[in-house]
Amino acid sequence: MHAAVLWDLDGTLVDSAEYHFESWVEAMAAEGRTISRTDFQASFGQRNDRILAQWLGSDVAPAVVSRIADAKEAAYRRIVRERGIDPLPGAAKWLAYLDAQGWQQAVATSAPRLNVDVVLDVLRWSPYFGAIVAGEDVRAGKPDPEVFLTAATRLAMPPAACVVVEDAAAGIEAARRAGMPSIGVAAAAAAQPNVAVSSLTELTEETWTRLVGSRP
């Protein structure tokens, strides 16, 4: 199968939202600040610099952004190591199936690489992925298509042969701009992906081949 799947990570493959919320609360508390769950939910999936600009103001000093973001991500990795992390329903099944069918696979995420490495290590998923594109590998976050185009290049695959799987509207828009078919999971189903599902368990083997086969 000369095709690839580009996976978002948080909220698409793994159930990480609560861990991210806890780590943001911890990092912001160290700065004497509090965040609500509503604040967090409105920002989930965005790059840290963008999140902190929303919470602290657009004039927040880069050194402050770096300090808080580093503390938050260190807390997140510690929690994952201590408690483990759960794959979302259907994730492990499709990773194994696509690997067995000869599909190339990549992680394409705004998360820091160290976070990705910890999650893949804990779940023992690293062998499935031929490329990882993390937040520090690109200049622009989603909905800019850079993360997906970079992943396709690293897999040596044309964009039209890459299926993006995302749980966020910004990710679906990034796939659209990259010229890639998309699967929108959960909230991303409202962003007009090529295929919309509430869970990865709703996908079928035919879904994957149809998406690639329908492209020019």
What backbone phi and psi angles, to 5 degrees, belong to 167? Answer: -115, 5
Span 123-170, pLDDT tens digits: 999 999 999 999 889 888 889 999 999 999 999 999 999 999 999 999
* The pLDDT of residue 214: 54
Residue 55 gets which letter from DSSP? H
In whole angstroms, give the CA distance from residue 43 to residue 54.
9
Span 85-99, pLDDT tens digits: 999 999 999 999 999
Q: Which two tokens stand for residue 168?
A: 């966020």
The dihedral over CA atoms of 10, 120, 62, 142, expressed in degrees to the nearest 10, equals -40
What backbone phi and psi angles, to 5 degrees, belong to 172? Answer: -65, -40
Summary mean pLDDT of the chain:
93
Confidence check: pLDDT of 216 > 50: no
Confidence check: pLDDT of 215 > 80: no
- Kindly report the number of other CB atoms within 10 A of residue 111's CB atom: 24
Domains of the chain, by residue range, sit at 4-15+86-213, 17-83
Is CATH 3.30.450.40 the right assignment for the domain spanning 4-15+86-213?
no
Cα atoms in the Cβ-side hemisphere of radius 13 Å centred on 90: 14
Which one of 1.10.150, 1.10.10, 1.10.3470, 1.10.20 gives the CATH number of domain 17-83? 1.10.150
Q: Are strands 104-108 and 4-7 parallel, antiparallel or unpaired?
A: parallel
Averaged over 164-180, what is the pLDDT? 95
In whole angstroms, give the CA distance from residue 125 to residue 113.
15
* pTM confidence score: 0.89
Q: In what order do the strands lie in the sheet with 182-185?
A: 131-133, 104-108, 4-7, 162-166, 182-185, 195-197
* The pLDDT of residue 197: 96
Q: What single letter denotes the amino acid at residue 16?
A: S
Q: What single letter denotes the amino acid at residue 108?
A: A
Contacts of 106 (CB under 8 A, 6+ apart): 4, 5, 6, 7, 129, 130, 131, 132, 133, 151, 154, 155
SS (H, E, C) 157-174: CCHHHEEEEECCHHHHHH
In whole angstroms, give the CA distance from residue 117 to residue 125.
10
